[in-house]
Chain A
């Protein structure tokens, strides 16, 4: 069983704050890491797929880094806005390409 851990479980920030959260995973047999955003009453939406150690991806105010040797990825949000409120999920494929999701970080951004 692939153990994918995310922290913190939840986060409450003010509009304009920058924030970050962590996805931890076993460093052996790494294939790729996915980040998804899941807004309430909607379906999960892909943010990034990262495959190489040292990868950095950016989409607007959101960016992510990957360290496969130590088994973690960080997701950063710069200048948080209320529309960033969502659960952020990371996922990794294990054996037989089964994509295992972490339990997510629930972000709430208030005015």
Chain B
């Protein structure tokens, strides 16, 4: 596609439910990042993929969070047993080169946990 695509754009869920967020990066981009922005906060790193592998998962807040990437393309971020503190905008970004090339961001998923 022309840009990084994320779905859904908005998700409202009840506390305790599982949610799955999807990111479709720009074709050919090997590096893929997940970030989140909670209300009033900056960009918080969650996880980074190079191809299908995740060299750095240090940002995942708890074991309720997991992510995978298949075929070097689409990535899904899964949050199990959602909590109210999980409410945030989840942003995905992709790049040809994680260091020297700029990131292209998707429009994000606004997650609200009631």
Query: Which A residues contact B (CB, under 8 angstroms)?
Result: 31-32, 34, 36, 42-46, 49, 51, 89, 93, 95-104
Contacts and interface: CB of A to CB of B under 8 A. Distances in A.
Contacts of A100: 45
B42 A99 contact: no
Given A43-B106, A97-B50, A98-B56, 4 more contacts: A89-B42, A93-B98, A101-B35, A103-B42
A96 B108 contact: no
A51 B99 CA distance: 9
Interface residues of B, number: 25
Interface of B: 31, 33, 35, 42-43, 45, 48, 50, 55-56, 58-59, 91, 93, 98-108
Contacts of A46: 102-104
Contacts of A97: 31, 48, 50, 55-56, 98-99
9 contacts: A31-B100, A34-B102, A45-B105, A96-B48, A96-B56, A97-B55, A97-B56, A99-B45, A103-B42
Nearest to B55: A96
A96 B100 CA distance: 13
Nearest to B58: A98
A96 B99 CA distance: 10
A44 B43 CA distance: 10
A28 to B, nearest CB: 16
Contacts of A101: 35, 42-43, 45
Contacts of B98: 93, 97, 99
B45 A43 contact: no
Nearest to B47: A98
A76 B105 CA distance: 23
A104 to B, nearest CB: 6
